[in-house]
Amino acid sequence: QYRYSTDNGNNWSAWSTSVPNFAAVVGTNIIQSRRTADGTGCSTSASNQVSWNVVPQPTAPTINTKTPNLTSVCQGNGVSATFNAGSGGVGCSDDYILIIDGGVPVAYTPSSTVGTTATSSIVIQGRRANCTSGAGCTSTAYSTLVSWNINSPTVTISTDYAEDCPELDPAQGFNPQSGNYDAGSTKLVFEVSLSGTTSAIWSFNYAIGGTGVSVRTSGVPSPNYPQSDSVSNTTSNPVVLTFYINNNPPVELYPSLTISNITDANGCSATNVSSSVTIKAMPDVGDYE
């Protein structure tokens, strides 16, 4: 005969002639067996038993500390994390992987600083696995425990040809030969755009220069910008910079706009900066070329 207990022998099933087949539960599970007889002088044998210590199925590790504890970090900064160990299973262990910019996962050691080369994202995933074969344990799949977005601001500069020279191909530059505002000045419009950041607020310095290039700020419409200055804590994107280049004396000019010291509200500096755009402006007589 056979009987079983799922609570370390505190409660038992009824004796049966069939070997028990039951769902194990967490704790000590026991099966006992004995031999009985009903003949004269016969007695029931002592019981034999087998037991199993049943543990919960594996539970994945969880995040403990995230450094820095931010959603986004600037490009070039390292990050790290520690974790609360997973539990359950037989012979199981936790392991972690690091994924940079959606690339190939590599092993991650808790507390180690990583991610200085990331340009878009840093993700650390973990699981509880490597359990003893045959123990019936189901490993957990890798899941994201912690992540950071990478702020990698990028600035580009373009010229707004449509405002003043609608017939020209932007790739050609233009030669406003008699001044497109008046006989004394050529109006140049630039757009400075920021991308690659979660911040809507940004700042930069600018300067427009070139041999013989000077900027006129009086007697011209607003908005107009001086030859060099800063644009601070703006939410405009793109920022439109309008300059009036003096046409006196009437010589061929190559104004060049340079942008520097670009930062967003997260304190991230721009990389991949389109640092300078040069266009050709020839204040002279005649029509547009």
Q: pLDDT tens digits, residue range 94-140?
A: 999 999 999 999 999 999 999 999 999 999 999 999 999 999 999 99
Q: Is residue 289 part of a domain?
A: no
**In the block, residue with structure tokens 């950071």:** 148
SS3 287: coil
List beta partners, residue 147. 123
Tally of CA atoms within 13 A in the half-sphere of 256 that contains its CB: 9
pLDDT at 182: 61
Which pair of tokens denotes residue 217? 């700020």
* CA distance linking residue 239 with residue 287, whole number of Å: 30
For 25, the domain range is 1-54
Q: Is residue 242 part of a domain?
A: yes
Pick the closest to residue 175 from 48, 52, 282, 56 (CA basis): 282
Clarify whether residues 158 and 273 are in a common domain.
Answer: yes
Total number of domains constituting the chain: 3
Clarify whether residues 201 and 272 are in a common domain.
Answer: yes
Q: Are strands 72-74 and 143-151 parallel, antiparallel or unpaired?
A: parallel
Clarify whether residues 188 and 255 are in a common domain.
Answer: yes
Cα 85 to Cα 30, 58, 115, 135, 182: the distances in Å are 30, 11, 23, 20, 73
Tell me the whole-structure pTM to 2 decimals: 0.65
Percent of the chain predicted with pLDDT > 90: 54
Q: Is residue 116 part of a domain?
A: yes
Q: Is residue 288 part of a domain?
A: no
Q: Is residue 241 part of a domain?
A: yes
pLDDT digits (tens, 9 = 90+) for 28-87: 999 999 999 888 888 889 999 999 999 999 999 999 999 999 998 998 899 999 999 999
